[in-house]
Amino acid sequence: NLRRFLPLFLYLLVTASYLYAQEGYAVRKVHFIGHETFSKSVLLNQTSLRESNLFTRLFKKHPPSYFNAEFLQADMDRLHGFYQREGFLHARITLDSVELYEEKRRIDVWLRIEEGKRVMMGNTPFRDEAVNIKLGKYVQALVDSGYLYAKGHHTIDLLPGDTVADVTFILEPDSLVRVSSLEISGQRRIKATLILNQSTLKPGDAFTAKGLEETRAYLNDLQLFKVVSVAPLFTAGVRSTTLPLAIRVEEAPRLSGKVGVGYGTEDKFRAFADLTYKGLFGGPTRLNLNVKHSALDPYYINIKWVHPRFLSRQTALTVNPFLRRQTEPGFETRSLGLNLPVNTRINEQLDASLGYYYAAVTQFGVEGDVLVPDPESPNLLYNKSGITAALTYRTAKPLLTPEAGFQVQMGAKVNGYIFGGDYHFTRLWVDARQYSTISHFVLSLRAMGGLLSATSEDSFVPVEERFYTGGSTSNRGWARSMLGPLRNSGSPAGGKSLLELNMELRRPLFWLLDAAVFVDAGNVWTASLHYPLNELAYAAGAGLRLNTPIGPVRLDVSRPLWHDKKSWQFFLNIGQAF
C-alpha cells in the first residue's frame, strides 16, 4: 500500500511547493477546460479571480488578482459548490496547469472541469435555487391566505443512477390568523371613519394578501396621503390566532400647486398653473383649479370638484365647470359649460366613464364653411347638451414611453335628442395601440377610426366636434388639421369619417437619446361612414427623442409620399406621437 501512495504523495508535495512559489504573481488569464453547460464569464463570477490586461488596467481600473494557492483552492471549492447546486452532483474541479511570465511576474491558470451527468427533476434540470424558489412560493401562498406562521421544507431523494431526483415539499400551515381589530395612526385632519371605510378587511376576516393590497390601493387612490402602511401588528415572542390590523398614514399637504412653461411647433408658447386643495372638511373630496394658455387654447380655465367613492369604492364623481377659447386652423370657438362624468376603475387595466355635459358655444369666423346653417352670420351661437361614454383598456408600460403591451380606447358622444341642445349628432371613435420590444427596438403600431352621424335637418355638426387629421400626433406629413376637406379659404373644414394608421420604430442611441423612423397614413372624409382606402394619404419620416422625467422631448421631420404636396414638416413637442 505504501508503494502505491508514495508516488502520489510526492507529486502533491512537489506541486504544492511549486504553487506556493508562484504566490505574488498577477493573474493574467484563467482558462477552463471541459466546461460545456456554463460560459467562462459565469464560472469566473463564482470565483475571486479577475483577469488582468491592458484594457482592464487602463479603463476599468480594476486591481489585478494575485496568485495564492489557498485562495485558488477556495475558488475551486466554490466552483464545486456551484456545480452541485446546479445539479452536477459528481462534478470535479482540478488544477490542470499554470504558465509563468517571469519578466512581468504574471501567471496563466488552467482549471479542468469534469461536469458529469446532471440530475434531472422530471424534465427540468435540478437547481437548488429553483427548488427553494418553488418552496418559497408554496409557503407564501399559505401566508397570503391568512396562515401567517406557515413554514415549509423539502426533501430530496436520488433514484438509482443518481441522475433523477424526487423532491418532496412538506408544508406546515399552522393556524389561520384573523383580524381582531383595526388600529389607525398618523391622521391629523382626515376623519378616521373615512380611513376605516377603505379597509376591505374587517374584524373576524382572515389576513389575506388580497385584502391587504386592496385596502392599501383604496387608501392611495384617495390621493390624500404621502405614506400608507397596512399590515398585521405582531407582538414579539407571541403567536396568536388574532392580530390587530395596523393602518398607518402620513397625510399629504392639503394645498399643492405647480406651474410650467414650454414651447411646441403647434401650440407655440404654452404655460399652465395648477392648484389642488385636498380633504375638504376632512372628507375625501378635492378641489382643483387648472389654467392653461397656448396658441391653440388662448385661455382654458378648468375647475374640478372630485368626490371619490361615489356610490362605490371604484367610482368617482367630478363636477367640472369650464371656460375655453380654442383657436384651431379650422375654427375658433369660445365655450362655457359643465361636465359631470362618473369614472369607474373596473380593474387595474380597465377604466370606464359615463357623464353628462352642457356647453354654450360661440363660433367665430365661419366664412366659407358651406356646412354652417347661417353663413351670413359673423358669429354662430348654439348650445350642446348630451352624454359621453368611454372605455379604456391598457396593459402598455411604462406610462410615458411604452415598450410593451396594448391599449385601446373607445368613446361615444350623443348630443341633442332627449338631452336638448340645438343639433342632433352621434360621435363614435376607437383608438388601438400595440407596443412590442424586438431586440433593441420598440415597434409601435396605431389604428384610429371615427364616425359622425347627424340627424338635424341641415346635418350640421359643430366644427369643434368634427374629425381632423394631420399634425404631430396623427399624419406628420401635413401641418395640424390640414389633411382632408378644405374650405374655399384654404382652412380645414373637418369631416364625419376618420381613419388613421401609424407605424413607428424606436431605438436607443446613447445617453437619454432615442432615434425613430415612422410611416403614417390617414384621411378625413366629408361623408359619414365613408372610408375609401385608395384615398389614404401617406407620409414617412424620422425623428429624435430626448427622454426626460416629464416625458420625451420629440423632434420629427416628415414628408408626404406619392402626393403632389412635396414640402417637409417639422414638429417639436413633448410626449410620444402615440
Please report whether residue 45 resides in a domain: yes
Q: Which three cell numbers stand for residue 473?
A: 400626433
Q: Are residues 224 and 278 in contact, defined by beta-carbon separation less than 8 angstroms?
A: yes
> For 417-444, what is the mean pLDDT?
94
- The pLDDT assigned to 11 comes to 44
Q: Are residues 549 and 415 in the same domain?
A: yes
- The pLDDT assigned to 215 comes to 96
Q: Are residues 106 and 160 in the same domain?
A: no
CA 536 from centre of chain: 33
* Secondary structure of 536-552 as H, E, C letters: CEEEEEEEEEECCCCCC
**By three-state DSSP, how is residue 41 classified?**
helix
Q: How many CA atoms lie within 13 A of 455 on its CB side?
A: 9
- Residue in the block written with cell 415612422: 518
Return the CATH number at 347. 2.40.160.50
Domain boundary, last residue among 235, 251, 267? 251
The 10 Å Cβ neighbour count of residue 58 is 8
pLDDT at 371 exceeding the cut of 70? no
Phi-psi region at 281: left, alpha or beta (left = phi > 0; alpha = psi -120 to 50): left
pLDDT at 489 exceeding the cut of 80? yes
Residue 7 has φ and ψ, to the nearest 5°, of -60, -40
Q: Are residues 27 and 41 in the same domain?
A: yes
pTM of structure: 0.74
- Amino acid 436 reads S
Please report whether residue 329 resides in a domain: no
- The pLDDT assigned to 58 comes to 59
Domain boundary, last residue among 150, 172, 194? 172
Domain boundary, last residue among 251, 281, 307? 251
Which pLDDT band holds residue 104 (cuts at 50, 70, 90)? confident
Q: Are residues 104 and 160 in the same domain?
A: no
Q: Are residues 146 and 110 in the same domain?
A: no
Q: Are residues 377 and 246 in the same domain?
A: no
Of the candidates 501, 502, 509, which has an alpha carbon nearest to the alpha carbon of residue 545?
509
pLDDT at 120 exceeding the cut of 80? yes
Nearest-angstrom CA–CA distance, 516 and 494: 29
pLDDT at 547 exceeding the cut of 80? yes
Please report whether residue 319 resides in a domain: no
Q: Which three cell numbers stand for residue 177?
A: 390568523
Please report whether residue 41 resides in a domain: yes
Per the structure, the complete domain to which residue 79 belongs is given by 2-114
> For 301-315, what is the mean pLDDT?
93
Strands 124-125 and 120-121: antiparallel
Please report whether residue 301 resides in a domain: no
Partners of residue 401 on adjacent β-strands: none
Q: Which three cell numbers stand for residue 368?
A: 366659407
Return the CATH number at 198. 3.10.20.310
**By three-state DSSP, how is residue 448 classified?**
strand
> For 45-64, what is the mean pLDDT?
74
Which pLDDT band holds residue 456 (cuts at 50, 70, 90)? low
Please report whether residue 257 resides in a domain: no
**By three-state DSSP, how is residue 142 classified?**
helix
Q: Are residues 138 and 211 in the same domain?
A: no
Please report whether residue 245 resides in a domain: yes
Q: Are residues 26 and 124 in the same domain?
A: no
Q: Are residues 190 and 159 in the same domain?
A: no
Report which of residues 406 and 488 the model is more confident about.
406
| Span 140-185, pLDDT tens digits | 999 999 999 999 999 988 888 778 888 999 999 999 999 999 999 9
Q: Are residues 110 and 135 in the same domain?
A: no
Nearest-angstrom CA–CA distance, 56 and 199: 56
Nearest-angstrom CA–CA distance, 119 and 115: 11
- The pLDDT assigned to 102 comes to 83
Contacts of 509 (CB under 8 A, 6+ apart): 515
Exposure b/e, 376-410, CB count within 10 A at least 16 = b: eeeebeeebbbbbebbbbbebeeeebbeebbbbbe
- Average model confidence (pLDDT) for the chain? 90
Please report whether residue 337 resides in a domain: no
Of 60-64, 66-70, 365-369, which one has max mean pLDDT? Answer: 66-70
| Span 6-45, pLDDT tens digits | 444 444 444 444 455 556 788 889 999 999 999 999 999 9
| Span 193-223, pLDDT tens digits | 999 999 999 999 999 999 999 999 999 999 9
- Residue in the block written with cell 387595466: 349
Q: Are residues 397 and 542 in the same domain?
A: yes
| Number of separate domains in the chain | 4
Q: Are residues 426 and 560 in the same domain?
A: yes
Report which of residues 240 and 65 the model is more confident about.
240
> ∠ at Cα 371 (369, 374), nearest 5°?
80
